[in-house]
Amino acid sequence: MKITCDREQLLTAFMTAATVAPSRSPKPILRNIKLEVTTAMTTLMATDMEVGIRIEVGGIEVEQAGTILAPVSLLGSILRESNDDKLTIESDENGTVVRGERSEFKLPAENPDEFPAVAGFSDEAYHDVPVRLFKELVRRTLFATDAESSRYALGGVLLEMEEEKITAVATDGRRLAKMEGPARSVGGHGLGDTMTIVPSRAMQLMERALTDTDAEIQIAARANDVVVRSPRATIYARLVEGRFPKWREVFPSRQESVQIEVTVGPFYSTLRQAAIVASDESRGVDFTFGDGTLVLAGSTAEVGQSRVELPIAYDGDAITVTMDHRFVADFLKVLDNEKPITIDILDGESAALFTTDDGYGYVVMPLARE
């Protein structure tokens, strides 16, 4: 094999693939990335046996096709530290040589035939989803997962796909994030009763690998795994085992609640100020709605107290609900400052519901008031 590559393009793809390769593994061969070079394309492959990626690389001039295994740490460091725009990579049975204008590195050779197969995309039934929407699905739900939970399958994001819609849901038992948007079923792809819970790590990888926001991806969900294909990358992941909570029962459906509209920027600024006196032990902030004002109050014995006001369009009886300020901040951080949101509250013992006008809902359970 002999190629001349654009170093920056190869580095970007290599580092994306490297997030899959395990730094430690009982199978040392997994600490490599496989480069498969044909005259038509160059593909990088990595897997830890739970998640796998195939990613195509541009900027490659092929003199001789072939396949090599490259140690993640060594080739990654060469690509990162080199100052050359172009690098030549050449391999034979004795090893791999990487050359720059004034540098040369010799790397050990391993048999690429021993590297596990990384699944491609061959499904005829799948969902078409806009990349821009999918990245928002990940960004607006991933933070609410709980990798430590053993009770439920909370260490991933639930994907529910219908004929014209996709819904992503994540929860850690104390808050729940749900985002939905338009998607299209192809070939009758529908999940029925199958639960598609994609591991958090795989969702992060998918979001990172999807760079063309104007494109569409194809998602094929099966009984035990899911495969996602974009114009440049294909990602495979084994699903999280277990049952996801019945999330629709968490969303409040009540007639007597109060809906208050606020803008993200001023609300988030007020929250950050109120949280200045919070601590790891005292995370609760009192949200009091009433008399045209939202009052946020925090208190920690060793630190001090805070009281910050925000004008709101609600003049009814005062309602106070205590929430973990970090949970509310997580929701606000993934939204634009100018975005309007609606806060739906009933009383101090009931969950608060935050919604936007583009299919995003977020439920936060109240804290017991001291």
Percentage with pLDDT > 70 across the chain:
98
Q: What's residue 369's pLDDT? A: 65
Give the pLDDT mean for 273-284.
86
More confident residue, 132 or 281: 132
pLDDT greater than 90 at residue 233: yes
Q: Work out the end-to-end distance of the chain between its first and last CA atoms, rounded to an integer number of angstroms.
A: 69
- pLDDT bracket for residue 355 (50, 70, 90): very high
pLDDT beyond 70 at 113: yes
Domains in the chain with CATH codes: 2-114 (3.10.150.10), 126-248 (3.10.150.10), 252-364 (3.10.150.10)
